[in-house]
């Protein structure tokens, strides 16, 4: 595991293409993603910040860094989870996201939790 990373937190992501807000003719594809974070460790910890790397099918990379998630810095006791929904906009119908959360446990130890790579893609339409 990468230095500074811990696997005490399980992160799962579900994605959805938002057709009503997308304009493919203008290279605008909008996606929602719902993240579930679960503390599987033995110590409570707080999510301090996020760092996302979003890459579209043309290789264009956007980096998003910021405090907390959706305006919150959840503090999770062992066995507790937190879920939130956010969004991303791409210029292509497909892309990937990956990232990490900076955390601090109740002992004052800072560490990172890896967000698994996931795909943003427009569903195939069958005629």
pLDDT tens for 61-85 read 999 999 999 999 999 999 999 999 9
Alpha-carbon distance 126 to 123, whole Å?
Answer: 9
> Is position 126 within any domain?
no
Mean pLDDT value of segment 5-34: 95
Structure tokens at 68: 């907390």
> Is position 1 within any domain?
no
Alpha-carbon distance 90 to 73, whole Å?
Answer: 26
> Is position 4 within any domain?
no
- pLDDT value at 33 more than 60: yes
- pLDDT value at 122 more than 80: yes
> Is position 87 within any domain?
yes
pLDDT tier at 125, thresholds 50, 70, 90 = low
> Is position 32 within any domain?
yes
> Is position 127 within any domain?
no
Q: What is the CATH number of the domain that holds 27?
A: 2.60.40.1470
Residues whose CB is less than 8 angstroms from the CB of residue 38 and which lie 6 or more positions away in sequence, other chains included: 9, 10, 11, 12, 76, 79, 80, 81
Identify the DSSP state of 8.
S
| Average predicted confidence (pLDDT) for the chain | 94
Mean pLDDT value of segment 27-36: 98
Q: Distance of CA 10 to CAs 1, 13, 73, 79, Å?
A: 14, 10, 17, 10
Range of the domain at 69: 9-120
Number of domains in the chain: 1
> What is the structure's pLDDT at 124?
81
> Is position 2 within any domain?
no
Mean pLDDT value of segment 43-62: 97
């Amino acid at each position: 595991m990468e230095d500074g990373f811990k696997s005490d937190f399980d992160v799962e992501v579900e994605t959805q293409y938002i057709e009503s807000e997308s304009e493919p003719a203008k290279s605008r594809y909008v996606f929602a993603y719902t993240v579930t974070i679960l503390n599987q460790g033995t110590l409570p910890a707080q999510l301090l910040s996020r760092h996302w790397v979003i890459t579209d099918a043309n290789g264009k990379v956007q980096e998003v860094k910021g405090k907390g998630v959706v305006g919150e810095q959840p503090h999770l006791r062992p066995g507790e989870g937190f879920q939130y929904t956010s969004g991303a906009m791409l210029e292509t119908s497909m892309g990937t996201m990956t990232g990490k959360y900076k955390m601090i446990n109740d002992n004052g130890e800072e560490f990172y939790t890896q967000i698994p790579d996931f795909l943003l893609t427009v569903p195939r339409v069958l005629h």
